[in-house]
């Protein structure tokens, strides 16, 4: 099995005629994802370079194609409205790739989305992949392979690096999710961990965090109280200079909250082994699985 996406996922690409969206639409189609529609206002009734029908609105796309998921490549100043449009069309899943969406916009957008049934992943995320089934995002599919490891990360680059190391030692993945590194995101570690806990084909979870915020501490608390499956952790940015923002907009330390050591300590207190380097993760996963 997998979580959130699989062979039944029918995807609409918002902003499909943009350069990045066009490229990644091609990659998702090559992987076998059912990209059934695109949306670019004013270009309804046409097709993109891959033969995907284009509509003026998400509602029209959903009604015509049965799309149940959306991926957003819309520029930052319009992206929150694009999220709300997809939410109003009642798709099951929205994946917001766009970086740089104003935090104030996302506070309102996430509030409205959480009132309904739609799951929002991102923004500023690489998306997700259920290897061998579906790719919704910008992840390089060649490093992923089917298997029993669930993977959640705030960092796209660390996702690719670590999954490649897991794949090289025969540790395939059930689903890999990049939740994004912005201060306000739609799906957190605590939202994803229960899904992996309930998935019979996920035997171990790798949770990759970074400095800033408190999502990792919240995740560790959930693991301690609810997870029966083993979890292996990693925290990026442990050598970051004090007072310097690193990478993501969410990588901001306020007082003692969000420090790398606080996150490591929370994971260790929850019984989660924490890798010192990315290269240590495969061995810790094997140990957790008794291999």
Residues in CB range of 179: below 8 A, 6 or more apart: 121, 122, 125, 152, 153, 154, 185, 187, 188, 189, 192
Whole-angstrom Cα distance, residue 182 to residue 212? 10
Instruction: Write out the DSSP string of 56-74.
Output: SSHHHHHHHH---EEEE--
Which two structure tokens, joined as six digits, stand for 138? 């910008």
Catalytic residue chosen out of the listed positions 24, 50, 248, 279: 248
Residues in CB range of 36: below 8 A, 6 or more apart: 10, 11, 12, 52, 53, 61, 65, 66, 67
Closest listed residue to residue 261, CA positions, set 240, 245, 282: 240
Burial readout 26-59 (b: 16 or more C-beta within 10 A, e: otherwise) = eebbebebbbbbbbbeeeeeeebeeebbbbeebe
**How do beta strands 204-210 and 231-236 pair?**
parallel
Which two structure tokens, joined as six digits, stand for 60? 């029209």
Which two structure tokens, joined as six digits, stand for 19? 């350069």
Residues in CB range of 240: below 8 A, 6 or more apart: 211, 246, 251, 260
Which two structure tokens, joined as six digits, stand for 253? 């330390």
Whole-angstrom Cα distance, residue 281 to residue 38? 38
Which two structure tokens, joined as six digits, stand for 37? 């529609």
Contact 65, 77 (CB under 8 A): no
Question: Any catalytic annotation for residue 279?
Answer: no
Among all residues, which ones are annotated catalytic?
Answer: 248
């Amino acid at each position: 099995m997998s979580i959130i996406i699989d062979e039944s996922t029918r995807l609409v690409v918002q902003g499909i005629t943009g350069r990045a969206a066009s490229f990644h639409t091609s990659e998702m189609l090559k992987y076998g994802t059912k990209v059934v529609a695109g949306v670019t206002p004013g270009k309804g009734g046409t097709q993109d370079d891959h033969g995907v029908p284009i509509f003026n609105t998400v509602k029209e796309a959903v009604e015509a194609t049965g799309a149940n998921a959306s991926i957003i490549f819309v520029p930052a100043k319009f992206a929150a409205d694009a999220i709300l449009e997809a939410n109003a069309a009642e798709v099951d899943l929205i994946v917001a790739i766009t970086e740089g969406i104003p935090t104030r916009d996302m506070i309102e957008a996430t509030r409205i989305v959480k009132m309904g049934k739609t799951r929002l992943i991102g923004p500023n995320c690489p998306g997700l992949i259920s290897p061998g089934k579906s790719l919704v995002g910008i992840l390089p599919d060649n490093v992923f392979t089917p298997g029993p490891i669930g993977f959640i990360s705030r960092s796209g680059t660390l996702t690719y690096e670590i999954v490649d190391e897991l794949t090289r030692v025969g540790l395939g993945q059930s689903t890999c999710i990049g939740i994004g590194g912005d201060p306000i995101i739609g799906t957190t570690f605590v939202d994803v961990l229960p899904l992996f806990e309930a998935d019979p084909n996920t035997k171990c979870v790798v949770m990759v965090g970074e400095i800033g915020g408190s999502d990792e501490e919240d995740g560790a608390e959930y693991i301690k109280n609810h997870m029966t499956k083993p979890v292996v952790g990693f925290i990026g940015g442990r050598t970051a200079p004090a007072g310097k923002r690193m990478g993501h907009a969410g990588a901001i330390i306020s007082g003692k909250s969000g420090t790398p050591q606080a996150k490591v300590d929370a994971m260790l207190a929850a019984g989660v082994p924490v890798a010192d380097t990315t290269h240590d993760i495969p061995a810790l996963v094997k140990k957790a699985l008794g291999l």
